[in-house]
């Protein structure tokens, strides 16, 4: 197991733990922001918990490579949602990290997701 892959897995896992935890900490504000971003209504109540589970599995290296695969799938879905809104000329708050990310979406959100995806790909190398 490569040390670099383990570090990438832990870093990505921490990002997912922070994202899920901050969504829960935001209370009722986060679901409203997620709805405004265009997240599917069925996914909104469960997303923070899914992010927490994926994050924990990445940090503790449980059942590899599946947590990294799940993280990559979520990052692709998040990026598609952000890209769609940007293509429509809309810039709602990101809601990616709960109250910490009330800034309107932009190309930097896609770059951040690309960087996180690189961590996911590196963690798959383990």
Q: What is the DSSP string of 16-47?
A: HHHHHHHHHHTTTHHHHHHHHHT--TTTTTTH
pLDDT in tens, 2-23: 899 999 999 999 999 999 999 9
Task: Residue 59: give the domain boundaries.
Answer: 3-124
Q: Alpha-carbon torsion 56, 10, 118, 31, what sign?
A: positive
Structure tokens at 28: 């009722």
- How many Å apart are CA 70 and CA 31, to the nearest integer? 22
Beta bridge partners of 104: 93
Q: Three-state SS for 104? A: strand
Question: Are the beta carbons of 67 and 13 closer than 8 angstroms?
Answer: yes
pTM: 0.94
Residue 102 has pLDDT above 80, yes or no: no
Total number of domains constituting the chain: 1
- The gap between the terminal CA atoms of the chain, to the nearest Å, is 5
Say which range, 3-7, 26-30, 71-75, 80-84, has the weakest mean pLDDT.
Answer: 26-30
* Greater model confidence, 58 or 102: 58
């Amino acid at each position: 197991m490569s040390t670099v892959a383990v570090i990438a897995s832990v870093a990505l896992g921490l990002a997912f733990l922070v994202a899920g935890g901050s969504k829960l900490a935001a209370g009722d504000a986060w679901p409203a922001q997620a709805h405004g971003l265009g997240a599917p209504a069925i996914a909104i109540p469960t997303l923070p918990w899914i992010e927490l589970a994926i994050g924990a599995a990445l940090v503790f290296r449980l059942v590899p490579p599946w947590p990294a695969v799940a993280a990559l799938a979520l990052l692709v879905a998040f990026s598609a949602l952000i890209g769609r809104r940007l293509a429509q000329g809309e810039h709602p708050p990101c809601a990616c990290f709960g109250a910490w990310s009330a800034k309107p979406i932009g190309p930097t959100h896609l770059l951040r997701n690309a960087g996180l995806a690189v961590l996911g790909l590196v963690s798959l190398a383990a």
